[in-house]
Structure 1
Amino acid sequence: MQIETIKSGDREMTISVRGEMDAQGCSLIRDDIERIADNAGDRAVVIDISKVNFLDSSGIGAIVYLYKRIKSKGGSLSISNASGQPLELMELLRINTAIPVQSANHFQEAR
């Protein structure tokens, strides 16, 4: 699993996650998650998961952990481009009741 900051401005930070967000993948990016949480400040952080093909409880845990850290600093967190199994799991667990989740076909549905 890989994570990278693709856009970082004064008000918003967009990060992209690629691969499987499972226990093994999350252990590989633990330091990156801490760095993002430390640097987010009061910005809006958007996690683009368009390249995530699998999500399990460890991935959900990493997202919730990041959400709590960012929120405690006055920032916000949202998920974008969710689809397939990751979107289904987030809907099943009702993650979108706390964290805004935008599906990959959100713009197609709006038309």
Structure 2
Amino acid sequence: MSNRFEYQKEERDGVRIFILNGSLDISTVSPMKAELDSLFASGQHRVLFDLYELEQIDSSGIGAIIALFKRVKSNRGEVKISRLIGQPKEIFSLLRLDRVFEIYDDFEKALQSFR
């Protein structure tokens, strides 16, 4: 298992997009958590996670995403997910998070859903 994790962020149409790559786990989640905290503090309440390149996620990675989801929802914002595949998709399904999050197979459709 690789402990490689990277993310890119961009902004399109007022939506902050995080493109996650590698393995989001206990050893890699800290910088992501800090980024999400500062994102929330800045008042950004429309977030899209693109998970096509995410190979693995563990409970700490899930926890970071859920924590942001709760904070954003309480401020009438939206957190959505696009291109969830492989092990992360299995975890989301196992934890029934596919019933909590709006998940899109297509990145552009996910982005358009914020309008």
| Equivalent pair of 1:55/1:86 in contact (CA under 8 Å) | yes
Partner of 2:37: 34
In the alignment, structure 2 segments of 5+ residues that lack a partner are: 110-115
Please give the TM-score of this superposition, normalised by the length of structure 1.
0.80
In the alignment, structure 1 segments of 5+ residues that lack a partner are: none
1:58-102 deviation digits (Å, cap 9, x = unpaired) = 111011001011112211101111100000110111002111123
Over 6 Å off, 4+ runs: none
Please give the TM-score of this superposition, normalised by the length of structure 2.
0.78
Partner of 1:17: 20
| Equivalent pair of 2:16/2:44 in contact (CA under 8 Å) | no
Residue 46 of structure 1 pairs with residue 37 of structure 2: no
| Equivalent pair of 1:41/1:73 in contact (CA under 8 Å) | no
Partner of 1:99: 101
| Equivalent pair of 1:13/1:40 in contact (CA under 8 Å) | no
Instruction: Count how many residue pairs are aligned between Structure 1 and Structure 2.
Output: 103
Partner of 1:79: 81
User: CA RMSD of the aligned region, Å?
Assistant: 1.9
1:14-60 deviation digits (Å, cap 9, x = unpaired) = 22112211111102322112122223534x31100111100111111
